[in-house]
Amino acid sequence: MSALTVRQVRRRYLTLHGLRWLPTGLMIPVMVLLMQERGLSLPQMGLAFTAQGLLVLALELPTGGLADALGRRPLLIAAGLLNLVSLSLFAVADSFWLFFLVYAVQGIYRALDSGPLESWYVDATLAADPQAGYEKGLGYGGTVSGAAIGAGALLSGGLIALGPVGPVSALTVPVLVAVVAQAAALVALVVLLVEERPATGFVAVRASVVQAPRMIGQAVGLLRRSRVLLALVAVELFWGFGMITFESLLPVRLAEVLGDPERAAALLGPASSAAWLASAAGAALTPLLLRWFGAAPGAALLRIAQGVTVVGMGLLAGPVGVLVAYLACYAVHGASNPLHSALLHRQVDGPYRTSVLSLNSMVAQPGASLGGVVLTAIAAATSISTAMVVGAIVLAVAAPLYLPAWLADRRAAPAVEPATVPVPADR
């Protein structure tokens, strides 16, 4: 690691970060619609999604310890291979159980992939220059991931618009391109990510597995000791549930409005690109929102505003109304994440920062799994619009959970519990 300069480390990090998110962008416009084309009902999709959420929930903290024991490179290579397997399976899956397997593999991939690349970047930067600042590179990472997802979604829409290629349906073509993109990302990872592996073997791996329950117990103990932290982390539970509306139900809603799934998928490509740009624009408003409202009131207002935009997606007539509400939803989403993160990090201190960050990230997974089952069942029994309104209400209901943080800020007393705890906000 020390042979690399700070600039080289940053360049490699941003390259690998962008390649990691490109396949995701390619999949966004087609994922749900292709599952429908292959014969899955909405409730079956919801059940398939739970496989991913529950495995991430179970493995997120233990895999963090595994990364420390084995090094980041082996875990990232394993994660890349699993993503390649899941995308390849997705390209040919034609039954509920195959799609369930796809999302189970995705769950293991996401647990392994969560955090090691960013950790490698920070450690490699400090190894190159202990006085170097790494915050700028992390900020650039957000820009790069948004651009990669947007570019992938735009490319996906273009590929769908070109129509089927021989026996391959138009909705399947972007999945095959995503497989190629993931293979390229894996090769780049092997070549570009260099790491001084710790001289550890089976003993270190066993130790990390043994310590995992203790780490989880300590992180949960922090929640018990801080009402502010508990409320902030609980926001993720509601957000994970409501997220299903704009990540999974929106494509079906657009196809319903247009009356043509392939046309909806082609339109979702540029729309997803625009949505990520709207998210970036929303994030740029963070300083103004902090000045106007403060972190906790601003975050609460944005949670309600996001619920309103989801209601718009569910009830507005015509594709233009649905897409305008979709863009507004992502703009609000981009603005709310930094405020939520700022509130969490005010509670973070001491040696448990990483554990609590992982815990905050994990909490969204059971919420998403529950939302996937409940909202798709509501959609099948009633309508997509009804399911989206229910999801919107759940998103907005989280707003009062920012009240403890607001009261803590108002008291502004150094002796308040916050400094005892660590907190995260990875969405």
Which tens digits make up the pLDDT trace of 267-319? Answer: 888 888 888 888 878 877 777 887 888 888 999 999 999 999 999 999 998 89
What's the rounded mean pLDDT across residues 207-224?
66
pTM of the entire predicted model: 0.75
Q: Which residues contact 309 (CB under 8 A, 6 or more apart)?
A: 325, 326, 328, 329, 332, 392
What's the rounded mean pLDDT across residues 224-233?
83
Task: Classify each residue of 70-84 as buried b or exposed e, where b means 16 or more C-beta atoms within 10 Å of its C-beta.
Answer: bbbbbbbebbbebbb
Do 59 and 108 touch, CB atoms closer than 8 A? Answer: yes
Average of per-residue pLDDT values in the chain: 83
Residue matched to tokens 């189970």: 104
Cα of 294 vs its chain's centroid, Å: 25
Task: Report pLDDT digits (tens) over 355-369.
Answer: 666 677 778 878 888
pLDDT score recorded for residue 191: 93
**Between residues 349 and 302, the one the model is more confident about:** 302
Give whole-number Cα distances, 213 to 65, 111, 206, 218, in Å: 11, 16, 13, 9
In the chain the domains, ranked by start, together with CATH numbers, are 1-200 (1.20.1250.20), 211-427 (1.20.1250.20)
pLDDT score recorded for residue 218: 66
Q: Which residues contact 292 (CB under 8 A, 6 or more apart)?
A: 298
Q: How many CB atoms lie within 10 A of CB 203?
A: 9
Beta bridge partners of 168: 165
204: confidence class by pLDDT, cuts 50, 70, 90: low
Beta bridge partners of 165: 168
- The letter for the amino acid at 81 is L
